[in-house]
Structures are given as C-alpha cells and as structure tokens.
Amino acid sequence: MLVAALTAYMWRDTFDPESVRGARVLITGASSGIGEQMAYHYAKFGAQIVITARRVNALKTVVQKCEKLGAQKVMYVPGDMSDPADPERVFKYAVENLGGLDFLVLNHVGNMNIELWNGDADHVRSLMQVNFVSFVQMAAAAFPVLETSGGSIIVVSSLAGKLASPFVAPYTSTKFAMNGFFGALQNELAIKKSNVSVSILILGLIDTEAAMNKIKGFNTMTAYPASEAALSIIKAGATRQKEAYYPWFHYFTCLINNIFPFGKDILLSSLSAENKE
C-alpha cells in the first residue's frame, strides 16, 4: 500500500502545457524517431522551434507538419554532430533566429552496430564525439543564454547508460559518460544556485524504425511508442525533473540492478551456456 502510494506520488503528472507555449526550443536529432515526435508535440503546444539533423529533406518534411500542428515559429538548420564545428554553429543559428532559448533538447545519436566489440577504438572515439562531446559543446554554448532565460537542458539518455549492456559497448560507454557528466553538472549548478535546470531522461527500448532495424535477432523486449517517449521527455524538462524514466518502471530496473548486481551475471551465464549448445 505504502509502495503504491509512493509510486503514484513520484510519477504524478504536474505538467502544464501552457508552460511551453511560446517557448523557444532547439531539438537535435529531429528528422526522425523521438526527436521528430518531440517537434510535433512542441508544435501542438504552440512553441517556437528550431530542429536540426543531417538529412535536409526529412527536416523540411518535419517543419511542414509542425507548421500545420500549430507551432508559433519553426525552422530547420542542417547539422552533423560528428563535425566538431557544427554544435556551436547550430546553437548560434537557433539563438539568433529565436531571439534566445528556453529549452535545449539534446537528442541526437550516432550510428552503431549490435555486436560484440571488435576492438575498433576509432569507432568508439568517433561515437564519443557524436553521443557525448557534441552534447558538452552545445551545453557550454547554451549556459550563458539559458542563465538569462532561466531555461533548461534536456538530455536524452538510455538505460544502456545505467546498465552496462553486451553487444553495444561503444554506445553504452557514451551514455555512461553522458549520465556522469550531466549528473555532476546538476550538482555544480546547485552549488552555484544557478537558475538553469538539467533533466536527464533514461529511456528503455523505443519503437523507432532505426532501433527496430538494429535489434532484429538480438532482443525480445517490448518496444514502447516514440510519441509517448517524446511527450514524457517534454514533460520532464518542463517540470525541471533532474532524472526521469520512460517507461517509468525502469527506475526499478536500475534500482534492482544496484541492489542485486549478481542477477545480471546469472543471466549472462545462461546466455553463454545457450550459445555453447
């Protein structure tokens, strides 16, 4: 009874859609998947939006739909986060065209394969640039602007950044780096009494086309809707939650793993035995 009441309190919905009406938002990785869905939700709430990704034609399509959904303003700027010069360039474009910024939504992710690590250190280095270093670059550029607006950084992370997962060693290393850096940043902002908030979103498996294509033959977990994941991210950022989980029960997945870490060893041992057979 107590656990149920505590759970209901922790995950109560305090989001007010009016809190993002007219808000100035930059969304990375917004040409498809979760980023695309976030753009649509922000548009419905009447936000002012800049979206970025590498694929220009896909960005144009998202912009057109956002206009129909009610965005006060919507623009796109192509950007490749593997290029160290692009994060700051993209951010500068958004601030100049929106007249400031209220929400920086860091959602982009680099390409990876689902496989046992093959020893390719160069791939790890390049993935770090996209999945981690570019996040840091954009955050660094954003802080002076967000201090003025009292704005927020929303960091889209993964369960793989909480649980060291086989077959995705390069990817999971970038997510652990992301969670560690932005978690430490939250503490530093508290020490400085900054009015900037940082929200870290821990996502489970989401049913984006890219994710579904990657995990074929590797995973039987349930995938959850990208649109719902996108909305949960927006709500967590708008209500300035430090850390949020989608689906919500992955909070307990991480908690149980921390209390009983040997459970994972048992699972991996059974998988190893199956492979030998």
| Residues 16-56 pLDDT 10s | 999 999 999 999 999 999 999 999 999 999 999 999 999 99
In which residue ranges of the chain is pLDDT below 50? 2-5, 8, 271-277
In whole angstroms, what is the distance from residue 140 CA to residue 178 CA?
A: 14
In whole angstroms, what is the distance from residue 62 CA to residue 136 CA?
A: 26
State the pLDDT at residue 261. Answer: 73
State the pLDDT at residue 147. Answer: 97
In whole angstroms, what is the distance from residue 127 CA to residue 166 CA?
A: 17
Per annotation, catalytic residue among 40, 76, 93, 171 = 171
Residue 9 annotated as catalytic: no
